[in-house]
């Protein structure tokens, strides 16, 4: 039995426009493998888009040749809508199985040809991601307003006024509503601006709320990430970790306390290099399964393998793939990105992002870190940061904050928020 054609006959036999529409919305272009059946499906769609019932007259007026060649479409027994939907389900299940088999066969062929281990691993990772992202299309998936309303009501009950998790910075939380799930947030900055240290500080505040944060570092070695983490949690400058002679007794005691009590299960960290976007996506999928609602930090975009001669295009593709992963796996991803060297001489803007067009289109929010002292070399600017915020779903703006890069600490400006500054340091003294 040609199940594609039988489904088209079922639609044709419906007695009203609405009945026909109820069935056709359950189908899409990929459901039809036969070119002839696909052509009929397109004509049916075009007729219904005019809000006209599909019948011999409308079919003939839309495509005379197709109507004549398929005059037997009207020779169908009227069956119930549930039986029609059952046939559509059978078609989708058949196509799903065929699609998986064909993909698997192609991957097996590629694996059998490949002798290079790196390429072999790329194909393996491509298989994992391809299979995990191939789902059985069971028809229309409309939003569940009841479920979403419950989430809105939960947010309304919060005292903090945040939809997501705190950055640890009052104004940044205000503009962004915190780290909202799912989102792709890009943090841009020049080399040695303090992007990685900004992540360490954010993870510190997530830790206080028992929120797991995964750090996938494509640049920093494990020793540096661990040292900076201890530095932030103990409040000891990272330069003091060279030897015990650099530490004061109270700093040593603070470090020893952090070593005993820090729960690394809330701070999973992976340091790798030379990875493809497929390998990054495979890790995102893995993190989403291991940890409940994790915030994922990736440092940084331009370190993901790509063709430098096609940088703008390839970074756009990588950004879009990671943005899709936030929706597919229900996670928020904080993706660090470097700015072009021109930002050394100018105040940073979105145009300075390498591959900025594609990154801007893919991201939900862009945060640019401007280390003012790094640009001006003026001592009065030490510790001062300006943050430029550009959002797709909310307000954009500029805020100013203070920092102590030695301990990877970022806080609200003393001049602007004296009370908040005091509360901030109270929060730092919480037990780990």
Q: What is the pLDDT of residues 67-105, one digit of tens each?
A: 999 989 888 778 888 899 999 999 999 988 998 898 899
The whole-number average pLDDT for the span 342-352 is 72
pLDDT at site 418: 37
% of the chain exceeding 90 in pLDDT: 37
pTM: 0.68
pLDDT at site 133: 62
Lowest mean pLDDT among 80-94, 165-179, 300-314: 300-314
Helix (H, G, I), strand (E, B) or coil at 365: strand
Domain ranges of the chain: 1-113, 155-428
DSSP-derived pairing of the beta strands 332-338 and 213-217: unpaired
In DSSP notation, 11-78 reads: HHH-SSHHHHHHHHTT--GGG--SHHHHHHHHHHHHHHHTT----HHHHHHH-HHHHHHTGGGG----
pLDDT at site 413: 73
Domain 1-113 of CATH type 3.10.290? no
277 has pLDDT over 70: yes
DSSP-derived pairing of the beta strands 213-217 and 384-391: unpaired
Gap between the Cα atoms of 47 and 41, Å rounded: 10
Burial code (b: 16+ CB inside 10 Å, e: under 16) for 323-356 equals bebbebbebbbbbbbbbeeebeeeebbbebbbbb
pLDDT at site 429: 37
The CATH number given to 155-428 is 3.40.50.300
Gap between the Cα atoms of 240 and 252, Å rounded: 10
Gap between the Cα atoms of 41 and 24, Å rounded: 9
Gap between the Cα atoms of 371 and 330, Å rounded: 32
pLDDT at site 417: 38
343 has pLDDT over 50: yes
């Amino acid at each position: 039995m040609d199940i594609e054609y039988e489904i088209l006959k079922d639609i044709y036999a419906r007695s009203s426009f609405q009945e026909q529409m109820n069935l056709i919305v359950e189908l899409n272009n990929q459901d039809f493998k036969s070119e002839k059946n696909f052509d009929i499906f397109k004509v049916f769609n075009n007729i219904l888009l005019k809000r006209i019932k599909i019948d011999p007259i409308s079919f003939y007026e839309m495509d005379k040749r197709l109507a004549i060649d398929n005059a037997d479409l009207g020779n169908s027994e009227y069956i119930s809508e549930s039986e029609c939907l059952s046939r559509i389900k059978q078609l989708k299940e058949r196509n799903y199985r065929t699609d998986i088999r064909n993909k698997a066969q192609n991957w097996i062929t590629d694996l059998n040809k490949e002798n290079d281990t790196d390429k072999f691993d790329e194909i393996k990772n491509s298989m994992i991601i391809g299979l995990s992202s191939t789902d059985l299309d069971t028809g229309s998936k409309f939003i569940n307003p009841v479920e979403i309303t419950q989430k809105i009501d939960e947010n309304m009950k919060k005292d903090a006024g945040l939809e997501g998790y705190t950055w640890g910075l009052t104004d940044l939380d205000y503009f962004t509503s915190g780290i909202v799930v799912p989102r792709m947030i890009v943090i841009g900055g020049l080399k040695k601006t303090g992007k990685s240290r900004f992540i360490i500080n954010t993870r510190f505040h997530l830790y206080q709320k028992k929120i797991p944060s995964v750090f996938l570092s494509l640049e920093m070695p494990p020793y540096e990430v661990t040292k900076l983490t201890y530095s932030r949690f103990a409040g000891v400058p990272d330069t003091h970790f060279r030897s015990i002679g650099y530490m004061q007794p109270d700093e040593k005691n603070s470090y020893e306390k952090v070593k005993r009590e820090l729960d690394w299960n809330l701070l999973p960290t992976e340091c790798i290099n030379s990875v493809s976007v497929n390998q990054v996506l495979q890790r995102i999928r893995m993190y989403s399964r291991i940890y409940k609602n994790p915030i994922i930090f990736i440092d940084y975009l331009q370190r993901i393998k790509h063709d430098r001669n096609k940088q703008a295009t390839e970074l756009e593709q990588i950004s879009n793939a990671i943005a899709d992963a936030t929706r597919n796996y229900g996670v928020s991803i904080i993706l660090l990105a470097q700015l072009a060297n021109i930002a050394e001489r100018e105040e940073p803007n979105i145009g300075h992002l390498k591959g900025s067009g594609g990154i801007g289109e893919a991201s939900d929010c862009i945060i640019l870190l401007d280390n003012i002292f790094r640009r001006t070399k003026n001592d009065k600017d030490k510790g001062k940061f300006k943050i430029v915020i550009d959002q797709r779903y909310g307000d954009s703006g500029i805020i100013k904050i203070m920092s102590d890069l030695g301990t990877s600490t970022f806080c609200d400006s003393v001049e602007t928020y004296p009370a908040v500054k005091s509360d901030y340091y109270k929060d730092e003294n919480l037990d780990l």
